Amino acid sequence: MRDRRLASGGRIDRSRPLAFRFNGKGYRGFSGDTLASALLASNVRLTARSFKYHRPRGIVGSGPEEPATLVELEGCHASANRAATTVRLEDGMAARSVNCWPSPGLDLGAVSQLFAGLIPAGFYYKTFKWPGWRLYEPAIRRAAGLAGAPDAPPPDAPPPDGHFEAVHAHADVLVVGAGPAGLMAALVAGRAGRRVFLADERTEAGGSLLDRRMEIAGRPALEWVAESVAELTSMPNVTHLQDACVWAYREHNFLMVNERSPANPSMLERNWRVRAGKVILATGAIERGLVFPDNDRPGVMLASAAQAYVNRFAVKPGERAVVFANNDSAYAAAADLLASGVDVAAIVDSRDPVPDSARDLAGGIPVKGGSVVIGVRGRRSVKGAAVSKRDGQGASTIDCDLLLHSGGWSPAVHLFSQSRGSLRYDESLATFVPDEAAQACVSVGGASGELSLASALRTGAEAAAMITGTEMPDLPTTTGESYAITPLWRVDAPGAKGRAFLDIQNDVTVDDVHLALREGYENVEHVKRYTTGGMGLDQGKTGNINIIGTIALQKGVPLQDVGTTTFRPPYSPVSFGAIGGIREESVVLPYRHTPVTQWNLDRGAFMYEAGARWRRPGYFLRGDETFQETVNRECRAVRECVGVYDGSPLGKFELKGRDAGRFLDHVYTNLMSTLKPGQCRYGLMLTEDGLILDDGVAMRLGEHRWLVSTSTAHADAVHGHMEELLQTQFPDWSVHVTTVTSQWNNATVCGPRAREVMAALGTDIDLSPEELPFMRFADGHVAGLPARVVRVSFTGELSFEINVAPRHMRDLWEWIMEAGAPSGIEPVGSEASHVLRVEKGFLSLGHEVDGTVDAHDLGMSWIMSKRKADYVGKRSVELRRRGKAVRRELVGLLPADPNDQIPEGAPLTPGGEKRPSEGLVTACVWSVVLDRWVALALLENGKSRHGETVHVRLKNATVAATVGEPVFHDPDGLRMRS
């Protein structure tokens, strides 16, 4: 293996060698390397296969613009589809090329090149249409996909918690990019005492100065960089992050920063959400490629990238180079390569004449003016460049193993454009530059088209001085450099034959764009989608402008009229984990617990999500019971002796004010204001369009004081509903709503022996049916604790809902279990509660209630007050029922075979045949009172079909069932009133 590392120089730490693996083979690099520079140093040239045609590819760029070499990282660095040029090399790292199997050298998918003619632009939309795309999709995705999501991390990986973090930050000035312009801006704003947030995507500050040999104040530019960084570090008002990519610029100056290597080793990435007063965009410029046949061969590289590899990483990307350019900047790159011992055979410049400013930089390298590269020799690695005059004359081949190209520089306007700033085409720079800003931001340096070092320093300082209202500092002197360009959108010399790539990552060629235009896709956004040009992970950083140029040439219009496609986040790929941060089981979005949660967990309760971040016990598995045996045991306890459940998560709201009764009459369908203190009533709330919002209970505590309880999951919705009405429709009504969900906890003792348990607990409240009948409540003491006892029932049995302050809940619960032990009390989970309510035909939002159902369908016409002239939803329900549409009505179903369980949600069809459904099963439970499966269903005209046999249509069977009343237990409600 040939080592291409230079003997000295570079920003690498030669005392810290790192071992890594690539496609299964071991290599070595140094601290400071990227995966790409380490591969080049190890002379690995064929590093990838392309997305569509599986063409051999190498490393093209040196940063996030890299279009060709995507890798999948394994082990504890696991990450899919990273550009090799952005992966900071670490010891023990293992990486794999995407798109090739088994290896880039022997890629079986490469046969697809033979069929390349069959995969033109838009092939997804044209081919494989009959009989259905889904037949072909899996095979195509396998052949033409990128890497999948990483597999589960190995055992030695960091713990799953703490991998990612999301934090908020505020800044007076957010500076994006720590190149010369960004550093200068941060210094000026920092010295002015502003809160400065400086973020840069590279592993160290300096931007383009890292890649080039420049001087500031008569010394190497990187000395100025080091001094500037040190000064920023000394300022407590400055936050400076490297390896931190600003990837989104959202509304109201909200930007996302992905810090890829936080100092905390247990953290993989940290996502900053920064709200900035002003934003200074010092994002630099990106070199674009030239478009010529076979411009994707391994060894064809951007000139600036080669310059970065020799200067920053001390790697020779080749031994003998040909440089192809249409602008001056490639000459400096050529000179640096020459100085590093690379033999530069020629500079091929499409311009005629070549400006003297450029020739002066060539330093003896032969310059071929008015010439272009018309082809590349070598398939898996460059062996030579075919060159001719632009008119095709004087064709010859120059031997080389490195073909560098530069199509000029495009300001990195991505963030500016994301912020909705407009762009304008600049003729002299042959590129799009920022025009009018839409938010409080300003572009400086290369990002604004100021491509010289002197103007980068100046514009950076100017922007910060203006924002902070401070004096312009004295600017250091710099080495001068010139930049001139004559655009060359593609090589069209007569000898130029072969695929010329515009988007290397997505395998989009000039022919594809021409085809799209021929087929009528003329808008640049349509061309993008039809060809997929610019839709890769690199977002077309090196190629988009050439696509626009190709369209402009073909249509004969200026580039300004073609315009750019819309830039969208992310600027560079970001892990989903970083966006999400820490979520589950954390302080960010915690679960809500009642004082009994720990007691439940201690007894092996299986916890369910109960909505609104509450977790409730689903069932209490005991011994070697099956799930069904557990649920049956808990149900039997309630039906035969006594059970208890924790109703604390139910939403509770206290309403005060002289208009509270009037207000409740407006939000409930039934009449509430006629209740007397001490009474409560079950009620239904609708939305204005007549849909059921919630069912709950209203209690009148006093003349102007009420307590409303809601279902757990809909508490927030009900709260918002009430507040919206009060604040926007009835601002002059005197009603004040206070959330008391967590101020009142409750344990509900239910079952025929509930009264025994209450007596054993001891209470000063007279619980006799005469003094405290069903739907009454009373305040007093239970077991010596201040309590409110409410006689509501969600199980159909005699029930006492004991409400206490949260600090008393755990005591109360344990005393209930103790006092209830002689009566055989059991704690009851949501599964048993579900069975008990189905046996009684009590509705459950989400089961029996969806957007099509109203109270009449549920057999609850009695709850829709006829006495009230108006309430929320009344008019809409009436309007809807006036039509002749068939309604689905709630019924009970008894499967013909009592042991047949019907899946919840199963459709009912006439005769169980393949016909439009006439309803669905909303719930099916094993009834402990009937000792069989029973179900609730919504059935067309169900109320008038009692006694009929209907059919449930399942995948491989039909189930016959008899229609009846939607109640299977105590139809007259005598037990809950006892």
Partner 1 sequence: MMLIPCPFCGHRNESEFAYGGPVKPDRPDPHAASDEDWVDWLTTVPNPLGPVEERWWHVKGCGTWLTIWRDTRTHCVVEGSGDAG
- The site for partner 1 (CB under 8 A) is made up of 250-252, 254, 273, 275, 420, 438, 688-689, 716, 720, 723-724, 727-729, 869-870, 874-876, 879
Least Å from the CB of residue 420 to partner 1:
7
Least Å from the CB of residue 251 to partner 1:
4
584/723 with CB nearer partner 1: 723
81/271 with CB nearer partner 1: 271
Least Å from the CB of residue 903 to partner 1:
35
Rounded to whole angstroms, the Cα distance separating 418 from 407 reads 24
219/875 with CB nearer partner 1: 875
Q: Residue 513, CB half-sphere, CA atoms under 13 Å: how many?
A: 32
251/913 with CB nearer partner 1: 251
Least Å from the CB of residue 627 to partner 1:
37
Rounded to whole angstroms, the Cα distance separating 129 from 142 reads 18
682/730 with CB nearer partner 1: 730
**Beta strands across the sheet bearing 371-377:** 371-377, 384-389, 396-399
391/689 with CB nearer partner 1: 689
Least Å from the CB of residue 881 to partner 1:
13
Least Å from the CB of residue 252 to partner 1:
4
629/724 with CB nearer partner 1: 724
Least Å from the CB of residue 14 to partner 1:
45
Asked if 322 and 367 touch (Cβ cutoff 8 Å), the reply is: no
Rounded to whole angstroms, the Cα distance separating 602 from 858 reads 39
186/853 with CB nearer partner 1: 853
- DSSP secondary structure, 418-474, as one string: HTT--EEEETTTTEEEE-S-SSSEEE-GGGGT--SHHHHHHHHHHHHHHHHT-PPPP
Rounded to whole angstroms, the Cα distance separating 10 from 33 reads 10
> Quick one: which of 503, 580, 497, 491 has its CA closest to 540?
503
- DSSP secondary structure, 192-261, as one string: TT--EEEE-SSSSTTGGGGTS--EETTEEHHHHHHHHHHHHHH-TTEEEESSEEEEEEETTTEEEEEESS
Name the 3-class secondary structure at 167.
strand
720/898 with CB nearer partner 1: 720
What radius of gyration do the chain's Cα atoms show?
37
Least Å from the CB of residue 670 to partner 1:
17
> How close are the terminal C-alpha atoms of the chain, in Å?
91
Least Å from the CB of residue 882 to partner 1:
8
275/781 with CB nearer partner 1: 275
380/592 with CB nearer partner 1: 592
Q: What burial class does residue 698 get, using C-beta atoms within 10 Å of its C-beta: 0-12 exposed, 13-18 middle, 19+ buried? A: buried
Least Å from the CB of residue 720 to partner 1:
6
Residues contacting residue 925 through CB under 8 Å, at least 6 positions apart:
834, 835, 838, 839, 933, 934, 935
Residue type for position 326: N
Asked if 935 and 848 touch (Cβ cutoff 8 Å), the reply is: no
Q: What burial class does residue 782 get, using C-beta atoms within 10 Å of its C-beta: 0-12 exposed, 13-18 middle, 19+ buried? A: buried
Least Å from the CB of residue 729 to partner 1:
7
Least Å from the CB of residue 715 to partner 1:
12
Q: Quick one: DSSP state of residue 610?
A: -
74/716 with CB nearer partner 1: 716
How many residues in the chain?
Answer: 978
> Quick one: which of 599, 630, 663, 613 has its CA closest to 828?
630
Which is it for strands 320-325 and 343-349: parallel, antiparallel or unpaired?
parallel
